[in-house]
Amino acid sequence: MPRVITAFSNPLVKRVRALRDKKHRRDEGMFLAEGLRILAEAEAAGRLPRYIFHTADTAGHPLVRRLSAAAETAGGEAIETDRDILHKLSGKDNPQTVLGVYDEFATDLGAVDRSRADIWLVAQSLRDPGNLGTILRTGDAVGAGGLILIDDCVDPFSVEAVRASMGALFTQQVARARWPDFLSWLRAGEGLLVGLSLDTSEDYQAPRYPRPTFLLVGNEAQGLPADYAAACDVRVKIPMQGAADSLNAAVATAVMAYEVLNQHRRG
């Protein structure tokens, strides 16, 4: 049977609500995920919540029952609460009726096995959680191995990034590294580093992309630093036919990722 919590002053409610803050996530080693779809994606990827919050009216939903039972079997806890408390936990005016609290997973670059996938996505100093989540979704869609975050990027475990990923945070490996460490790791094995840059005339469809290919996108406002771009094996540009000079970082990543995927599909 789930524990029932209806008081805003409950210590667990305060503790979980604090996970919306990066410092508390780091201190606790946990993060929030909202909605049945995302929690189901997490379960399919082998990850179960430490806590699962749901409302009384969803307690009988087959998927809620299954997730709650699986979490409890794994040592977690199911908690029945109300929409007001879910609103407090998620910060949304119209919160999802199910919320999970998960242990953060390791993001060490050394744990990345590049041979596991033909495409890897790399983002440098990404600032927008929506872009990060969308890039994760793109990675899932093209069968990428994961996303490597370079330098000071937005937290992939923020509520906004997890929400934007629509569950892809659980299906994609996420690693974090400083640029020199990433470059040393990359050059120790196989892989072509492709930088998306405005400072090149090379069309993105011109090169032949091997397996694996690492696609590097820069900061939303500044793009790639000049020395980072210079370290790439290839720099490519997506042609723009209108007045805009560049695409959104997540959109550009998606365009590039599908070009690489389609080349691989054609053999």
Looking at the fold, whether 123 and 93 belong to one and the same domain comes out as no
Alpha helices, DSSP H, located in the chain: 11-17, 22-28, 36-44, 62-73, 83-90, 129-142, 159-165, 168-171, 179-187, 226-231, 249-266
Specify the pLDDT at position 245.
Answer: 80
Kindly tell me if the per-residue pLDDT of 93 is higher than 80: no
**Mean pLDDT, residues 246-259 taken together:** 96
Looking at the fold, whether 91 and 215 belong to one and the same domain comes out as no
Specify the pLDDT at position 36.
Answer: 94
Kindly tell me if the per-residue pLDDT of 90 is higher than 90: no
Range of the domain at 31: 3-103
Q: Is 28 exposed, middle or buried (0-12, 13-18, 19+ CB in 10 A)?
A: middle
Looking at the fold, whether 68 and 154 belong to one and the same domain comes out as no
How far is the C-alpha of 98 from the C-alpha of 47, rounded, in Å? Answer: 16
Looking at the fold, whether 95 and 49 belong to one and the same domain comes out as yes
Looking at 75, 103, 131, which one is the last position of a domain? Answer: 103
Kindly tell me if the per-residue pLDDT of 92 is higher than 90: no
Looking at the fold, whether 84 and 133 belong to one and the same domain comes out as no
pLDDT band at 9 (very low <50, low <70, confident <90, very high): very high
The CATH number given to whatever domain includes residue 42 is: 3.30.1330.30
Looking at 51, 80, 103, which one is the last position of a domain? Answer: 103
Specify the pLDDT at position 97.
Answer: 86
Paired strand residues for 32: 101
**Mean pLDDT, residues 219-239 taken together:** 96
Kindly tell me if the per-residue pLDDT of 94 is higher than 80: no
Kindly tell me if the per-residue pLDDT of 95 is higher than 80: no
Which residues, including other chains, have CB under 8 Å from residue 242's CB and lie 6 or more apart?
none
How far is the C-alpha of 96 from the C-alpha of 261, rounded, in Å? Answer: 34
Instruction: Say what the alpha-carbon torsion angle 33, 36, 39, 45 is, to the nearest 10 degrees.
Output: -140
Looking at the fold, whether 20 and 80 belong to one and the same domain comes out as yes
Matching residue, tokens 């694996």? 212
Tell me whether strands 98-103 and 30-34 are parallel, antiparallel or unpaired: antiparallel
Looking at the fold, whether 192 and 157 belong to one and the same domain comes out as yes
Looking at the fold, whether 174 and 213 belong to one and the same domain comes out as yes
Percent of the chain with pLDDT over 90: 91
Question: Average per-residue pLDDT in the chain?
Answer: 96
Kindly tell me if the per-residue pLDDT of 155 is higher than 80: yes
Looking at the fold, whether 18 and 93 belong to one and the same domain comes out as yes
Specify the pLDDT at position 96.
Answer: 77
Looking at 103, 136, 169, which one is the last position of a domain? Answer: 103
Tell me whether strands 192-196 and 146-150 are parallel, antiparallel or unpaired: unpaired
Looking at the fold, whether 97 and 146 belong to one and the same domain comes out as no
* Overall number of domains in the chain: 2
Looking at the fold, whether 161 and 198 belong to one and the same domain comes out as yes
- 70-84 pLDDT, tens digit each: 999 999 999 999 999
Specify the pLDDT at position 4.
Answer: 95
The CATH number given to whatever domain includes residue 124 is: 3.40.1280.10
Specify the pLDDT at position 104.
Answer: 97
Looking at the fold, whether 130 and 74 belong to one and the same domain comes out as no
